[in-house]
Each structure stands twice: as structure tokens, then as C-alpha cells.
Amino acid sequence: MNDIAWDKLKLVIFDVDGTLYDQKKLRRKVLAGLLGYYLLRPWKLKDLYILYHFRKERENKAGFCSTDLDNAQYSWCAEKTKSPVHEVKKIVQQWIFDYPVKFLSDCVYPGVAEFLYTIEAMSIHKTVYSDYPAKEKNLAMNLSFELEVSSTDNYINAMKPSVKGLEYIMDVLKIKDRASCLFIGDRYELDGKCAAAANVPFLLIDRNEARSGFYYKLVEQVTHSRI
């Protein structure tokens, strides 16, 4: 962290889940909702099996590239669970994309908004690259970015650690010097390897440190670099 040349940066790219908010805290809240819902509906317990395998199959397909990744991810789960694709989509939409959003504002790591404001004041581009759609999440967290890119966007269609998302962002913003970029993420096996393959500097977020004010330390570093 101490060797980042903040005064030379032109672009910061953020992962979202586990990087901008406390994923463990969010999962506890979602789990409470799941238990409350399915304890009263035991005949629908297969939904939990579907949710598990949706995430599991995505994890197993790290780096996967496709011409239609958005639909492929549901087909993987449908095949594994022997469920109709439309049913998989409905369950995933409800519990992975819609339900958690209402808890996100309470799960943002301390100092994230301040850090975003600080780098914006330095005219550093702030963007997002996530394996999952991020716009609704960022809106719920009241965080704004110039560009929000997901692996399932039809102009990416590739999961981390594929470099397509990072390269797309740099191309759109016309940034050629990769040393002037920084990718911030919480998983080296995905975010870190993605950054390394793209030859972009990487900052690994420790989730425990993020809960105790790591982003405020980054604000101090950036501010100090301007003196």
C-alpha cells in the first residue's frame, strides 16, 4: 500500500462484493431472510439448492468466456440442479440480485465514500469492474462511478480473471499507461490475477482491516501525496 504513487494515478478500478462493502455482514442479513422465508415453506427448499449451485457453478467457471455469459450462467445451474432455466432465473433474481440490495447501505465499509471523494478531487477516474451486475448495488450504497462494468455485460462476456473487463475500461477512458491505473479487490485469485494479466497495479483489500477503517488510511495516504 505504501508504494502506490497516488499523485501519478489516472484511474482506479474497484471490485464491488467484499471490496466496497462487508460481504459477511450482508450474508448474515440475507441468511436471516432466507431462514425466515423457507422455514415456513419447506416444500420450496430446493430453491436453496439452486442458489448454492448458481454461485458454485460460477466459481467453477472462473475465467470463462462466452458469447452470452448472462444466459449461460443460468444454464449451468439449471443443468446441475435439473431445474427449468426460467425457475433458476426467478429464484436468483429474488435472492441474489433483489433482496440483498435493501441491506447494502448498512454494510458499506467505513471511509469508502470519503475515499471516492478524495480521488475524485484529484481528477482520478473512479470505475467498477465486478463479476456481478453492480449498478443497483452502487445506487443502494449511494456511491457513484463514471463507469460500471460487469462480466455478464454483452460487451464483456468473460469472468475474472479474464482481462476483458479491465481492458474495456481502459479503452473507454483512453488510458494507455497501465502503471497509472490501480485495481482494488478483495480476492487475489480473481481480482489480483486479473490485474496481473492486464499488467495493472493491484491493491488487495483485507476484509478485517476494511471493517476497521482501512479506507480512511487510504484517504490519509492520498491526501499526504498532494502535499
In terms of domains, do 188 and 90 share one?
no
Residue 91 has pLDDT above 80, yes or no: yes
In terms of domains, do 145 and 161 share one?
yes
In the structure, what pLDDT confidence band is assigned to residue 3 with cuts at 50, 70 and 90?
confident
What's the confidence (pLDDT) of residue 5? 86
Of the candidates 159, 137, 188, 185, which has an alpha carbon nearest to the alpha carbon of residue 76? 159
In the structure, what pLDDT confidence band is assigned to residue 203 with cuts at 50, 70 and 90?
very high
Work out the average pLDDT over 42-70: 96
In terms of domains, do 123 and 216 share one?
yes
The 10 Å Cβ neighbour count of residue 93 is 12
In terms of domains, do 49 and 86 share one?
yes
pLDDT-above-70 percentage for the chain: 98
The 10 Å Cβ neighbour count of residue 148 is 22
The answer to whether residue 171 is domain-embedded is yes
What's the confidence (pLDDT) of residue 1? 54
In terms of domains, do 158 and 127 share one?
yes
The total domain count for the chain is 2
Last residue of a domain, one of 88, 104, 120: 104
Residue 82 has pLDDT above 90, yes or no: yes
In terms of domains, do 61 and 11 share one?
no
Residue 13 has pLDDT above 70, yes or no: yes
What's the confidence (pLDDT) of residue 223? 85
Work out the average pLDDT over 173-198: 96
In the structure, what pLDDT confidence band is assigned to residue 50 with cuts at 50, 70 and 90?
very high
In the structure, what pLDDT confidence band is assigned to residue 33 with cuts at 50, 70 and 90?
very high
How far is Cα 21 from Cα 201, in angstroms, rounded to an integer?
Answer: 21
Across the chain, mean pLDDT equals: 95
In terms of domains, do 152 and 195 share one?
yes
The 10 Å Cβ neighbour count of residue 220 is 12
- Name the DSSP class of 174: T
What's the confidence (pLDDT) of residue 93? 97
Rounded to two decimals, the pTM is 0.94
The answer to whether residue 189 is domain-embedded is yes
The answer to whether residue 78 is domain-embedded is yes
In the structure, what pLDDT confidence band is assigned to residue 225 with cuts at 50, 70 and 90?
confident
The answer to whether residue 125 is domain-embedded is yes
The answer to whether residue 46 is domain-embedded is yes
The answer to whether residue 219 is domain-embedded is yes
Work out the average pLDDT over 138-147: 97
In terms of domains, do 121 and 201 share one?
yes
In terms of domains, do 40 and 136 share one?
no
The answer to whether residue 1 is domain-embedded is no
How far is Cα 223 from Cα 133, in angstroms, rounded to an integer?
Answer: 31
In terms of domains, do 117 and 207 share one?
yes
Beta strands in the chain (DSSP E): 11-14, 125-130, 147-150, 181-185, 202-204
Work out the average pLDDT over 129-145: 96
In the structure, what pLDDT confidence band is assigned to residue 198 with cuts at 50, 70 and 90?
very high
CATH code at 144?
A: 3.40.50.1000
Full domain range(s) for residue 165: 6-22+108-225
In terms of domains, do 44 and 145 share one?
no
In terms of domains, do 213 and 120 share one?
yes
96-135: buried (b, 16+ CB within 10 Å) or exposed (e) per residue? eeeebeebbeebbbebbbebbebbeeeebbbbbbbbbbbe
